Structure 1
Amino acid sequence: MVGERDSSLMKSTAILVNTSRGPVVDEAATLRALAEKSIGSAALDVFDREPLPANHPLRSLGNAAVTPHIGYVSRGLYEVFYRDAVEDIAARDAGKPARTLT
């Protein structure tokens, strides 16, 4: 969805962020735009291939911030995940649905 043409339309100060799915952004086009500095930087949490290989060029670019598909992680979010998991197990054991749409 975000390819070579899209990158060429961005300002040199643009920051490209992808936390959705790797293929949403053309990785090769993003690499070129970052290397040529036609965009300012990129923050990427998802990639075509995960985990991102240790020798991948994105890892060596100073204008790319890459995280291993954990950009959503926070203490508060994990507290909700674990609380909901415990509630789901207790509800299942009691024979009741834990969450229903109303």
Structure 2
Amino acid sequence: ANLTSERCAECGVVSVELNELLSTSDIVTVHLVLSDRTRGLIGTDELAQMKSTAYLVNTARGPIVQETALIGALQNGTIAGAGLDVYDNEPLPPDHPLRSLDNAVLTGHTGYVMRENYVRGYSATVEDVVAWLNDCPIRLLN
């Protein structure tokens, strides 16, 4: 659902414009779909509005944040750091500048997954492959 004044009241939050959010927040997290309106939404000007002690977290889509602007902001201390699990190009190349920054935490787009979730989520897949390799496929769909 879109953010409305009624929805804000229900949740006990205050809606603010982007520039106020950027200039007052200690942590800014990005949770948007990638569209023509959101592509490049966070760039040099937006990062400059953030506190020098603030962190940017993008777990939505890489191109929402202008990558070169973010790298510059991290290198020159415009913001304190960033946490990313999405990038302009995935997988992130080994020699990518983000990889050399001490103030950037980088993960694959499954950063939320804990070991227990992997075990639970993939155990059926492993079971299916083993059964198929043993010429005894299970869970067939026809």
Q: What range describes the TM-score normalised by the shorter chain of this pair?
A: 0.7 to 0.9
What residue in structure 2 maps to residue 18 of structure 1?
58
3-state DSSP of counterpart to 1:16: strand
Counterpart CA distance in 1 for 2:42 and 2:116 is 31
TM-score for both structures, normalised by structure 2: 0.55
1:29 to 45, 69, 87: 69
**C-alpha distance in 2 between matches for 1:70 and 1:82:** 14
The separation in 2 between residues aligned to 1:38 and 1:81, in whole angstroms, is: 40
Structure 2: runs of 5+ lacking an equivalent: 1-40, 126-137
Q: Aligned pair count?
A: 91
SS in 2 for 1:42: strand
| Aligned counterpart in structure 2 of residue 58 of structure 1, from 71, 91, 98 | 98
Per-residue deviation, residues 19-64 of structure 1 (Å, max 9, x unmatched): 1111111101100000001100001110000010000000001111
Q: Among all aligned residue pairs of Structure 1 and Structure 2, give the percentage whose two residues are the same amino acid.
A: 51
Structure of higher CA gyration radius: 2
Q: Which residue of the partner structure matches residue 67 of structure 1?
A: 107
Asked which structure has the greater RCO (Cα within 8 Å, sep 6+), the reply is 1
Unmatched segments (≥5 aa) in structure 1: 94-102
Query: Superposition RMSD on alpha carbons, in Å?
Result: 2.2
